[in-house]
Structure 1
């Protein structure tokens, strides 16, 4: 439902408390917690994004 992630913030989106929402409308913990859980299970989170088109998140977990 988004328009893609600009390169200028792409390296920040997995940091705790980073958000592009106005104050009081989000904590910025969703992606950070998800990333930590994926890593704790030995997995990988891949992000493909193109501004104006959207973003695809791929989660790979080991067997």
Structure 2
């Protein structure tokens, strides 16, 4: 999986599928594979924050 900014829903879906597969493998988070997984999760979060904002309601 090439790590780059997610710009489309299709790229988002592909990244989520790749991440799902990585969870099955369960790489050590300090390994190169684990760091790549963390970077992918950060890219997904950035895309979702930009395209699917969650409104915070404070009472």
Shorter-chain TM-score above 0.5 = no
Report the structure number with the largest CA radius of gyration: 2
Which of the two has greater strand per residue? 1
TM-score by length of 1: 0.31
Which of the two has greater helix per residue? 2
